[in-house]
Amino acid sequence: MKTLVTILATLICPVICIAQSNYREGYVIQINGDTVKGYINVKEWDTNPQSISFKKSQADREETKYTPLTIKSFAAGDYAYLAYIGRVSNNKNVFPDMDNYRDTTTSTDTVFLHELISGSKVSLYDKFKDNKRSFFFKEANQAPVELVYYNYYEDGTTIRTLPVYISQVFELQKKYGEGSVRLADFDRLNYRRDDLVRVFEKMNGDGKRVHKSTGGHQFFVGLGGVVSQNRFVGDNQFTAAGTVNSFSPRIHAGVDIFNNVVTKKLILRAEVSFSYNKPTFSGIDPLYTGAKNRQFYQFEQYNASLTPQALFSFYSDEAVRLFASAGIGLNFSFYKNNRFYADNNTASYLVVPYKLESYWANFPLQAGAVIAKRYEVAFTYVPRAAYTNYVLFGISSRVLGVNLRYHL
């Protein structure tokens, strides 16, 4: 336990001191049109950023703050944003937080619009702020225009919609579509990112750059080694045997799901793995039995695990990403050679072996690093968990491990 705590402290403490910066190579376009290359602190940005931090090199300690008032646009990694200062609709349109009437008022907003399509003819952007999703289009050097969508309650219960955006997109396709967009496309044109991206892709033809989503998934495979520290607890003659270690290789595979392909700050991981555990316990002979030989108990446990877990990346840059994780291990075990025996492999006075559970759970913790976006090394600690269901005693194991994974 002390060893793992030391490992976790070694990994995490320096990371916290780095203040969770995630600088990525990118550029800003200034008000005068000049492009300045450097590094931008990329964050989750579930809502559109109001400002960004920029520095010209990774080594710079000082950073410059930019807002939509001070630059035209910026880009970093898979992100691209356009500065916008203009009118936006006030109506709330995300169910169930909607207005009780059709609010047609507007107000001035200052925000960076997230680029979905940079098109040769017309570009598409989105904005999510105050629990409201909005989309904008931009023609050539003109200012962005909001695609208007009203979604509201009438009489407090009935939901009404007014999809003004459909007529706006229809006019754009007449101007730029050149027949590529069909009327059937408008039958299923909802006010959603994927639907609008599909139509705007057709309007632009090949002259486009698409950022459909900043999320995604990545598969991995791996190989590692684990040490299972087994012991009896409670009222049992094998308690005196103490901790019995068993080493096993471990193979595993799985998938990571994330909502930000750049920082991968929060990741949901599903992993399957296989390992085994082969302890042998030496027990003290109870005096009342009259048996002269020392008694032994052994078994072979073959364990397949399904482990959903959550990973949190404390720090990431172009070269390395450091993370910690916690999850639940759902273990499916089968057993062989579950038996008692005495010295010199003679018969034991204990005959019926203990019942070992086929389905049991534990709670793995992990800390590690991903290098060059492909190679992962991680240290695993699994607190002690029992795989028996007796009242007076139990058999449990604690696991220490090292895992190497390759992200495909």
Look-up of token digits 């376009």: 29
DSSP characters over 206-258: TSEEE---S-EEEEEEEEEEEEEEEEEEES-GGGGG--EEEEEEEEEEEEEEE
Residues 109 and 190 in one domain: yes
- Which amino acid makes up residue 62? E
More confident residue, 263 or 89: 89
What's the whole-number average pLDDT of the chain?
85
| CB contact at 8 A, 98 and 182 | no
Query: Which of residues 179, 212, 245 is at a domain's end?
Result: 212
Backbone angles phi, psi at 252, to 5 degrees: -155, 160
Residues 266 and 400 in one domain: yes
Query: Which of residues 163, 195, 212 is at a domain's end?
Result: 212
Q: Which residues contact 272 (CB under 8 A, 6 or more apart)?
A: 252, 253, 254, 304, 305, 306, 307
**Over 70: is that where the pLDDT of 163 sits?**
yes
Residues 50 and 16 in one domain: yes
Residues 134 and 266 in one domain: no
My answer on whether omega of the bond before 68 falls inside 30° of 0, hence cis, is no
Structure confidence at residue 288 as a pLDDT band (50, 70, 90): very low
**351: domain CATH number?**
2.40.160.20
More confident residue, 368 or 93: 368
Residues 234 and 203 in one domain: no
Structure confidence at residue 214 as a pLDDT band (50, 70, 90): low
Q: Tell me the per-residue pLDDT of 314-352, one tens digit each, with 9 for 90 and over.
A: 887 778 889 999 999 999 999 999 998 887 777 777 778
Task: Name the residue range of residue 234's domain.
Answer: 216-407
Residues 108 and 42 in one domain: no
Q: Which residues contact 36 (CB under 8 A, 6 or more apart)?
A: 27, 28, 29, 30, 54, 56
Residues 57 and 112 in one domain: no
Residues 312 and 389 in one domain: yes
Q: Name the 3-class secondary structure at 18.
A: coil
Q: What pTM value is reported for the model?
A: 0.67
Residues 235 and 278 in one domain: yes
Residues 224 and 357 in one domain: yes
pLDDT at 67: 92
**6: domain CATH number?**
2.30.30
Residues 71 and 208 in one domain: no
What is the domain count for the chain? 3
Residues 347 and 226 in one domain: yes
Query: Which of residues 19, 48, 77 is at a domain's end?
Result: 77
Residue range 5-12: average pLDDT? Answer: 45
- Which amino acid makes up residue 328? I
**Over 50: is that where the pLDDT of 281 sits?**
yes
